[in-house]
Chain A
Amino acid sequence: MSDSPPELTVSLWRGAQEGRYETYKVPLRENQTVLDVVTFVQRHLDPTLSYRFACRVGMCGSCAMTVNGRPRWTCRTHVATVADGGRLEIGPLANLPVIKDLAADLRPFFDKWQQAKGVFAPSQTREDDVARVRPDSAARIAADAAIECINCAICYAACDTVRWNSDYLGPAALNRAWALVNDERDAGNPERLRSVAASGGCHACHSHQSCQELCPQRLNPTASIAGLKRRTMWAYVKGEL
């Protein structure tokens, strides 16, 4: 038996849109996350490696990468749960342009967030009383179910429809729109419903459900999109769209 410490064989994407995977040997440690592995490579093996992270505790949504073919939040993904025979292949998020190495350009993702009117439109001013929202109302329960998104873009990278339809707004933007549609303090719904009912909006979704399978926050964007489909359908039938 060999006395050498156990190692991981890690392939990392190097380059931009065009590039190649390069292989590194990284010591295997207990409770090691995928982000730990990437950080080890940059600190000890190749300081030119580019990647993105901030909080390291699963709150900021900035460290998502493609790990062995699937988008994951790397700071909360343990190597032990994803390494395939001691091998890891880590690339930038799919469905987005690559800036360099493991850092994807998230501008299209956030542009679509704006396009879906994912911004709160206040119906009151600071002079008004604080709105009283019943936590057990149906609308608030629906809004709460969709609200904990951390903008990591994992659902966007996992979505087949985004891959083949560049106009599709994607699961996160539509999930956000659904949270606001159910926010009784919001006044932007007529415009929001028009945006998500247009070509590339919620009706482009094929309900493959990769978004909800891979969402690290265990949200269900597919259900949110189904809600938008219902809401916009009735608005269309009533002549409001």
Chain B
Amino acid sequence: MNVGLYVWQRLTAAVMVPLVLLHVIVIFYATRKGLSAADILARTRGSLAWAAFYGVFVVAVAVHAAIGVRNVLAEWSPLKDRDAGILASAFGVLLFLLGARAVLAVVLP
């Protein structure tokens, strides 16, 4: 890990702290209120706020997790730093695509 990766990992962690808390609150709210999928979609579709909230979340997760996976691979597998970086970047792109697909599915009108 170099200073650039360190800063980006800490920065995305700091971004995720309030997002995770809010996400957990949303889960509790939705389950305790007994919201159906239709109820949830009625709230999220066309909502710029939810798109921004989960869009930022997905980007932060993709960056944060990719850096972490790169470190694990570099330290615990026989892969060289460069190969670990390529593999971890691919993992980050995959997380971003899956996350972005999910966000688009619930916010597009």
A residues contacting B by CB (< 8 A) are 161, 164-165, 197-199, 201, 203-204, 229, 232-233, 235-237, 241
Q: What would be 14 A-B contacts, judged by CB atoms less than 8 Å apart?
A: A161-B75, A165-B74, A199-B2, A201-B2, A201-B3, A203-B1, A203-B3, A203-B5, A203-B6, A232-B3, A233-B3, A235-B3, A236-B4, A236-B7
Contact B6–A199 (Cβ < 8 Å): no
* B83 interface residue (CB < 8 Å to A): no
Contact B3–A241 (Cβ < 8 Å): yes
Contact A197–B2 (Cβ < 8 Å): yes
Main DSSP-derived SS at the B contact region: helix
Inter-chain CA distance A165–B7, complex, in Å, is 20
Contact B81–A233 (Cβ < 8 Å): no
Contact B1–A236 (Cβ < 8 Å): no
Inter-chain CA distance A232–B10, complex, in Å, is 14
* Chain B residues with CB under 8 A of A236: 3-4, 7
B3, B6, B81 — most chain A CB neighbours (10 Å): B3
Contact A237–B1 (Cβ < 8 Å): no
Q: How far does the Cβ of A199 sit from chain B's closest Cβ, in whole Å?
A: 5
Which chain A residue shows the least CB distance to B10? Answer: A233
Contact B6–A229 (Cβ < 8 Å): yes
Contact B81–A199 (Cβ < 8 Å): yes
Fill in one digit per residue for B5-38: 1 if any A CB lies within 8 Å of its CB, else 0.
1110010000000000000000000000000000
Q: How far does the Cβ of B52 sit from chain A's closest Cβ, in whole Å?
A: 25
Which chain A residue shows the least CB distance to B2? Answer: A199
Which chain A residue shows the least CB distance to B85? Answer: A199
Contact A164–B3 (Cβ < 8 Å): no
Please list the 9 inter-chain residue pairs (A to B) with the smallest Cβ-Cβ separation, ordered nearest first: A197-B3, A203-B6, A203-B1, A236-B3, A232-B3, A199-B2, A164-B75, A198-B2, A204-B1
Inter-chain CA distance A232–B75, complex, in Å, is 22
* Chain B residues with CB under 8 A of A235: 3
* Chain B residues with CB under 8 A of A161: 75
* Chain A residues with CB under 8 A of B7: 233, 236-237
* Chain A residues with CB under 8 A of B5: 203
* Chain B residues with CB under 8 A of A197: 2-3
Inter-chain CA distance A236–B1, complex, in Å, is 14
Inter-chain CA distance A161–B81, complex, in Å, is 15
Which chain A residue shows the least CB distance to B71? Answer: A204
* Chain B residues with CB under 8 A of A237: 7
* Chain A residues with CB under 8 A of B74: 165
* Chain A residues with CB under 8 A of B3: 197-198, 201, 203, 232-233, 235-236, 241
Inter-chain CA distance A204–B81, complex, in Å, is 12
Which chain A residue shows the least CB distance to B4? Answer: A236
State whether A164 and B76 are in contact (beta carbons under 8 Å apart), knowing that A199-B81, A236-B7, A237-B7 are contacts in the complex: yes
Inter-chain CA distance A229–B10, complex, in Å, is 12
* Chain B residues with CB under 8 A of A233: 3, 6-7, 10
Which chain B residue shows the least CB distance to A198? Answer: B2
